[in-house]
Amino acid sequence: MGLLGRAVVTVLPLMPRFMVGWVSRRYHAGEDLSSAVKTMRRLEGEGACFTIDVLGEEITTMEEATFFVEEYGRVLEAIIDTGIDANLSLKPTAFGLLIDPTIAEGSIEKLVRKAAGNDIFVRLDMEDHRVTQPTIDLVARMHDRGLSNIGTVLQGRLHRTLGDIEKISEILGSAADHRICKGIYLEPENIAFTGRSDITSATNQAIDAALDCGAYVGIASHDTNIVKHSLTALEDRGMGPGIPDPRELAGPQRPGKGPGYEFQMLLGVRGDIRRRLAKQGHRTRVYLPYGSKWYEYGVRRLRENPDVAWHITKALFFPWSNRR
């Protein structure tokens, strides 16, 4: 897979844009909000709920942040108007976290407040290690202001993640809400696990730790080993579809949430697993990106993590194993 990934990254600049678009179209919901709504309408029949991401991330000027502030406002209105079971996923650097943290925080807070008034959850995506602590701190400050409808993503591959789970749980208690994933950013060996089996093991440990802290846990992985581990972990703790969360440290079930956990999948990836979990009664959420920055999104993801090319190859040559 490594050789394939490197080969794809090497030829990427030579590929016509339309070809990249043909490959990537299954992984995003289109270029505009109306396309995203149509995709959600189609998939909600499969028992899915959604988290909506407007494509684009780290900006270079604060003027660029205006687009994300306005577009996420439109997304929020669309969720309210349509009644679709969806929440928001924001990248803090798209709001200017690395340029003007104060303005970025103010913009995010306004969205979170409006979302809170409509029982809509907001997830702060976790980006590379430069913003790990600032993102966690931002969530904590929102909770201090009475906004408990916000949580972040924690990446299993980072050495610090188990400690972060413990610290966040101490601060937020039963209001802690994590999406646990492997993480796509390739970080240095001194701060992250780099071997496939080590990353998988660390992610499983993070899921266990988050469950044991009483946090709400979004299990975000297409790795069958992690899904199997999570199902066993839930069963061992007496958790499952239709069962009230039995954990002593957990809070009451919140609107738009499952009984202490849910499974999350990227749009276009391992729809077979998602549908099977939904049929078993588990709450399943599709991470649904859309926007005009689809080309930059796809190219950047491939350059950051060439192993993603393996998933693309499987989708092209074995489409029946990877339906949306």
> Which residues have a catalytic role annotated?
125, 179
Burial of 140 (0-12, 13-18, 19+ CB in 10 A): middle
Distance, CA of 42 to chain centre: 20
Burial 246-269 (b: 16+ CB within 10 A, else e): ebeebbeeeebbbbbbbbbbbbbb
Helix (H, G, I), strand (E, B) or coil at 286: strand
**H/E segment holding residue 294:** helix 294-304
CB atoms under 10 Å from CB of 290, counted, come to 25
Give the sign of the dihedral formed by CA 145, CA 163, CA 86, CA 267.
Answer: positive
Structure tokens at 168: 């966040």
Calpha distance 296→319 (Å, rounded): 24
178, 81, 38, 19: CA torsion to nearest 10: -60
